């Protein structure tokens, strides 16, 4: 009898542990897998075991499409409304994703009798996640590569940052940056254009095989241009074959690109009270729950909480809808620019230009703003108000109002400080016959720091409450010192 008791207790405990570990409990332990995917796994289990295991840990490997549909709508992770002829009885494995839309995939190739795409693109993911794709496809993230390439101002900045100077006879002459340098730096986050240059032969343990010859690869930037022409890379935030929602909801994911000195979002967050609570109590939160329940699943926001997740309160009332076009929740653009301004009306920011054709939203003397390309003040106000209401789920109205008031003042003060610095530059440019390339002289590089690092830091510090980024760490202390330094450099200029 005792043995039986212990035996059953153990069974229950093991089951309990198992279900807790995998985060759901449908009891389906031998999932239906397509014949094609079964073939993939049989080989790749030997040659890329890490990929296979990663997928095994994913939700894709554990439930069929029909089971995914069986979930309550608010908790459902697929956004298509019907099967559209797909087989709902199989799980989502290798072939289900890597064989989609072969005609548009220039990276489709013959692989041991199957037609396979090297790269799974957002369009392929949209087969089940259509809403996410639709939101993402015209966002700033989707256009992140063109935002740099098609904008003369930014492409000049990229070039000046990455130029390879040669020193000879006391003089420096600049040579243009290589494509490799761009891929390793700016395009790493913004995305590369992956093209197919025919096939190439690679040696493998099973002999030589032919694969598409991909250029500018690997890359997983948010604005990657894929061989099927689509833009984006879902793996940026839902990495590799685990397709995790937990990863995307944790700030360390955003931190890969949004970090100091140019975009100190993560750094400020971690220094803030929100970050403090995340760091000290976040280990016990549930990052996989859909919808995400405020005060229950988590007790302080991560980036995803305010910027894109579907949120409910403890009584299951929806507080915020999910979006994958993050920009639509923002009203003011506070980074990457000389001066802050209203958000652009869409993600194609390379379209923004002043009357004289300069591709910047605010003229350097602040006399002109390209308002046609930006949301109206009313729209900005409405978005700000919506964000403030979100804050009020955990903060009093008084707190939230005071907070947003500080933010407005600080953004203005940072802009003003940049303007004074830019006035010095006007004098420098006058002396030096114009600013053909405003980013390549030493003094110009110091000026870029003034807005790209320091003013950004001060604005972010205010937005998310990280005081050192407003003070000593790339904040006002640096802005003031740098202003004096630039002034000195300008005066010493012959």
Q: Which of residues 258-277 bind its own copies (CB under 8 A)?
A: 259-262, 270-273, 275-277
To its own copies, the closest distance from the beta carbon of 468 in angstroms equals 6
* Closer CB to its own copies, 136 or 187, in the complex: 187
> Do the Cβ atoms of 344 and 374 come closer than 8 Å?
yes
Q: Which of residues 387-426 bind its own copies (CB under 8 A)?
A: 392-399, 401-403, 406, 409-410, 413, 416-417, 420-421, 423-424
To its own copies, the closest distance from the beta carbon of 34 in angstroms equals 21
Alpha helices (H) in 48-121, listed in sequence order: 49-56, 65-69, 94-98
Helix/strand/coil for 214: strand
Residue 482 φ/ψ, nearest 5 degrees: -65, -35
Q: Which of residues 150-169 bind its own copies (CB under 8 A)?
A: 160-168
* Closer CB to its own copies, 274 or 341, in the complex: 274
Give me the helix-helix angle, 35-47 and 49-56, nearest 10°.
130
Task: Compute the distance between CA of residue 98 and CA of residue 145 in angstroms, rounded to an integer.
Answer: 24
Nearest to 270 by CA among 460, 399, 476: 460
To its own copies, the closest distance from the beta carbon of 113 in angstroms equals 18
* Closer CB to its own copies, 77 or 86, in the complex: 77
Site string for its own copies, 420-459 (x = CB under 8 A): xx-xx--x-------------xx--xx-----xx----x-
Number of residues engaging its own copies in binding (CB under 8 A): 138
Exactly one of 99, 244, 320, 340 binds its own copies (CB under 8 A); that residue is: 244
Task: Compute the distance between CA of residue 358 and CA of residue 38 in angstroms, rounded to an integer.
Answer: 55
- Spatial neighbors of 132 by CB under 8 A, at least 6 apart, are 79, 125, 126, 324
Burial class from Cβ neighbours inside 10 Å (0-12, 13-18, 19+) for residue 57 reads middle
Check residue 164 and report its DSSP letter: E
**Site stretch for its own copies (CB under 8 A), options 35-43, 80-88, 122-130, 234-242:** 234-242
To its own copies, the closest distance from the beta carbon of 48 in angstroms equals 6
Exactly one of 75, 204, 321, 376 binds its own copies (CB under 8 A); that residue is: 204
Structure tokens at 186: 């700016």
Task: Compute the distance between CA of residue 85 and CA of residue 94 in angstroms, rounded to an integer.
Answer: 19
Q: Which of residues 312-341 bind its own copies (CB under 8 A)?
A: 313-315
> Do the Cβ atoms of 272 and 466 come closer than 8 Å?
yes
Exactly one of 99, 121, 220, 343 binds its own copies (CB under 8 A); that residue is: 220
To its own copies, the closest distance from the beta carbon of 16 in angstroms equals 6
* Closer CB to its own copies, 81 or 431, in the complex: 431
Q: Which of residues 66-85 bind its own copies (CB under 8 A)?
A: none
Check residue 172 and report its DSSP letter: E
To its own copies, the closest distance from the beta carbon of 389 in angstroms equals 9
Exactly one of 90, 128, 214, 464 binds its own copies (CB under 8 A); that residue is: 214
To its own copies, the closest distance from the beta carbon of 346 in angstroms equals 26
CA torsion sign for 86, 91, 97, 99 is negative
Longest dimension (CA), the chain: 97
Contact between 138 and its own copies by CB under 8 A: the answer reads: no
To its own copies, the closest distance from the beta carbon of 470 in angstroms equals 5
Alpha-carbon distances, residue 379 vs 116, 203, 346, 383 (angstroms): 45, 57, 13, 6
* Closer CB to its own copies, 89 or 386, in the complex: 386
């Amino acid at each position: 009898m005792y043995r039986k008791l212990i035996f059953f207790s153990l069974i229950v405990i093991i089951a309990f542990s198992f279900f807790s570990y995998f985060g759901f409990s449908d009891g389906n332990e031998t999932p239906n897998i397509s014949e094609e995917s079964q073939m993939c796994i049989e080989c790749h289990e030997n040659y890329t075991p890490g990929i296979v295991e990663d997928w095994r840990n994913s939700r894709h490997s554990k439930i069929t499409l029909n089971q995914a549909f069986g979930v309550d709508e608010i908790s459902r992770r697929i956004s298509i409304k019907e099967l559209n002829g797909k087989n709902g009885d199989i799980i989502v494995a290798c072939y289900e994703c890597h064989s989609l839309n072969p005609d548009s995939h220039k990276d489709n190739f013959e692989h041991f009798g199957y037609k396979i795409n090297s790269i799974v693109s957002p369009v392929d993911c949209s087969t089940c996640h259509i809403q996410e794709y639709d939101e993402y496809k015209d966002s700033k993230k989707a256009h992140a590569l063109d935002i740099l390439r098609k904008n003369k101002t930014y492409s000049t900045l990229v070039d000046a940052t990455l130029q390879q100077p040669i020193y000879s006879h006391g003089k420096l002459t600049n040579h243009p940056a290589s494509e490799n340098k761009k891929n390793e730096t700016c395009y790493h986050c913004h995305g590369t254009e992956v093209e197919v240059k025919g096939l190439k032969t690679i040696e493998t343990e099973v002999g030589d095989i032919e694969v598409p010859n991909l250029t500018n690869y690997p890359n997983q930037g948010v604005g990657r241009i894929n061989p099927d022409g689509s833009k984006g890379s879902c793996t940026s935030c839902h990495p590799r074959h685990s397709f995790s929602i937990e990863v995307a909801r944790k700030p360390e994911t955003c931190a890969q690109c949004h970090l100091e000195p140019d975009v100190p979002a993560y750094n400020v967050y971690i220094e803030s009270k929100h970050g403090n609570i995340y760091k000290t109590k976040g280990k016990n939160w549930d990052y996989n729950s859909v919808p995400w329940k405020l005060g229950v699943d988590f007790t302080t926001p991560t980036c995803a909480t305010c910027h894109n997740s579907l949120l409910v309160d403890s009584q299951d009332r929806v507080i915020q809808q999910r979006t994958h076009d993050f920009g639509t929740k923002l009203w003011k653009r506070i980074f990457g620019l000389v001066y802050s301004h209203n958000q652009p009306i869409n993600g194609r920011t390379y379209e923004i230009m002043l009357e004289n054709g300069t591709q910047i939203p605010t003229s350097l003397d602040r006399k002109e703003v390209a308002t046609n390309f930006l949301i109206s003040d009313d729209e900005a106000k409405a978005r700000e108000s919506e964000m403030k209401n979100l804050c009020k789920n955990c903060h009093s109205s008084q707190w939230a109002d005071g907070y947003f008031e500080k933010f407005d003042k600080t953004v203005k003060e940072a802009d003003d400080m940049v303007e004074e610095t830019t006035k010095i530059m006007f004098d420098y440019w006058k002396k030096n016959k114009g600013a053909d390339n405003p980013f390549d002289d030493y003094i110009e590089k110091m000026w870029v720091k003034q807005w790209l690092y320091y003013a950004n830091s001060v604005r972010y510090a205010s937005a998310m409450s990280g005081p050192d980024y407003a003070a000593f760490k790339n904040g006002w202390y640096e802005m003031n010192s740098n202003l004096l330094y630039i002034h000195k450099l300008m005066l010493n200029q012959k």
